[in-house]
Amino acid sequence: MQIQNFNDQAAATDLLLSAKSGVRNCAYAITEAASPNVRQALSQQLQQSVHFHEQVTDYMINKGYYHPYNLNEQVQVDQQAVQQTMQQQNQ
In which band, very low, low, confident or very high, does the pLDDT at 3 lie, cut at 50, 70 and 90? low
Q: What is the pTM of this model?
A: 0.79
Q: Taking a C-beta distance cutoff of 8 angstroms, is the pair 16, 28 a contact?
A: no
In which band, very low, low, confident or very high, does the pLDDT at 90 lie, cut at 50, 70 and 90? confident
Q: State pLDDT tens for residues 29-81.
A: 999 999 999 999 999 999 999 999 999 999 999 999 988 888 888 888 888 87
- For 22-41, letters b (16+ CB in 10 Å) and e give bbeebeebbeeeeeeeebee
Non-local CB neighbours of 81 within 8 Å, separated by 6+ positions? 1, 6, 9, 10
Q: Is the pLDDT of residue 12 over 90?
A: yes
Q: Distance between CA 35 and CA 28 in Å, rounded?
A: 14
3-state helix, strand, coil in the chain (%, to 5): 85, 0, 15
